[in-house]
Amino acid sequence: MRPEDSGRLAVSIIEFCRYVRAHGLADDPRRTLTALEAAKTVDAANRQTLFSALQSTLCSTKDEWELFPSLFRGFWDEAQSRPRVSSGERNRLWRRQNSSAQKGDSFLAESSAAAAPDEGATAVYGASAEHRLKRVDFSELPHDDLAQLEELSLRLLRQMSLRISRRFISNDRGRRTDLRRTFRRSISHGGEPIVLAYKRRKPRKNKLVILLDISGSMNFYSLFLVRFAYALQTCFQRVDTFLFSTSLVGISPLLRTRHLSEALQRLSQREAGWSGGTKIGESLEQFNQRHGKLLTRDTLFIILSDGWDTGEPELLASQMRRAKQRAQKVLWLNPLLGLKDYQPVTRGMAAALPYVDVFAPANNLECLLALERYL
């Protein structure tokens, strides 16, 4: 390996070690040095060899061992081998998002081509670039960053869903040995693991029902929030997703695909009212009448909307009350809440708030990832 290639690999390994520590592996910087030394002793150009070397040096528990493959793929897959959309083409597609409903559908269809690099492969981002992209407001995203943010968002949202679905809790009647707690207990016995600790998988009790606002005021946000719904759909067995503007459209079957690009293509062919007006109360009334049985005491009801409603606030309040009575918890995710000095004083938002358990922002990727605590 040429010296310049060796240097680039070392930098990438350091970034990768930071990345895995941020996504669930033990926070031990000493492992980075071990990983660098291991990479020197193997054929790092061989993907499987590099995978084995890094896994053996960075993982110390079964949980970490199981999580590592998805982290490795998310960071190292060869994005350069996949077709990319030019900067000019991305700009053209992005401008379409602010046009009529018909053009909004076209943007969704053509964006599925730009999503191709997302499918299990991403570019390697530096820590500072990833930090910046996670915090940028979707409505203020520079055109040249669109493709990178799309790749990053799907990768991190998928990893969030994997962490939720794989989470374990301590339980001395469990069947799996909890190595970390066992080692901690052994300290008082001179390092001998006399008393074993166990863990078991958390019960997967909750169902998710998602209502996503795709009206004109949500243009800058709705496409990224569709990715949020898609990421949850891929890892939760019980998720029902609906789009609404002036009426309600169910899209759960369209999201049950292996690839995001296929899901976006399907959505683009569905009449859903993209970039139309907003009647949240009437859409909720349709949901309660046709699909209200989906809300049970083990259901998290998630509404993604800016709260701008052209309907009657009394209708919205009554339908929110019906949903609140059925669901375990109501989460309202409002992109505007992440903006400075925003106050939920519009008639629609004010009418809905008394029936909301969690009112949180959803204007950037960092906000979406923070929702893990509620899921």
Question: Can you give the pLDDT of all 375 residues of the chain as single tens digits?
Answer: 555 566 677 778 888 888 888 888 876 767 777 788 788 878 888 888 888 889 888 888 888 888 888 888 888 774 333 344 343 443 443 344 344 334 344 445 445 544 444 444 444 555 677 888 888 888 777 777 777 777 777 777 777 776 666 555 555 555 566 566 655 655 555 555 555 565 555 555 578 999 999 988 887 788 788 888 888 876 666 889 999 988 899 999 888 887 777 887 888 777 766 777 889 999 999 999 999 999 998 899 999 999 988 889 999 999 999 999 999 999 999 998 888 778 888 889 999 999 999 999 998 888 888 888 887
Residues 344-350: contacts with CB under 8 Å, at least 24 apart = 344/307, 346/307, 346/308, 346/309, 347/309, 347/313, 348/278, 348/280, 348/281, 348/307, 348/308, 348/309, 348/311, 348/313, 348/316, 349/307, 349/308, 349/309, 350/313
The amino acid that residue 5 corresponds to is D
* CA angle, residues 19, 370, 349, in degrees to nearest 5: 155
- Is 275 in contact with 253 (CB distance < 8 Å)? no
Give the residues across from 239 on adjacent strands: 208
Q: In sequence order, what are the beta bridge partners of 361?
A: 334
Query: What was the pLDDT predicted at 87?
Result: 39
- Note the CATH architecture for domain 207-374: 3-Layer(aba) Sandwich (3.40)
Report the chain's C-alpha Rg in angstroms: 23
14 touches 32 (CB < 8 A): yes
Would you state the structure tokens that stand for residue 294, as one six-digit string? 């989906």
Residue 5: what pLDDT? 61
Distance CA 153, CA 146 (A): 10
Distance, in Å, from the CA atom of 103 to the CA atom of 126, rounded to the nearest integer, reads 35
Give the pLDDT of residue 295: 95
Q: Is the CB of residue 226 less than 8 Å from the CB of residue 154?
A: no
369 backbone dihedrals φ, ψ, rounded to 5°: -70, -30
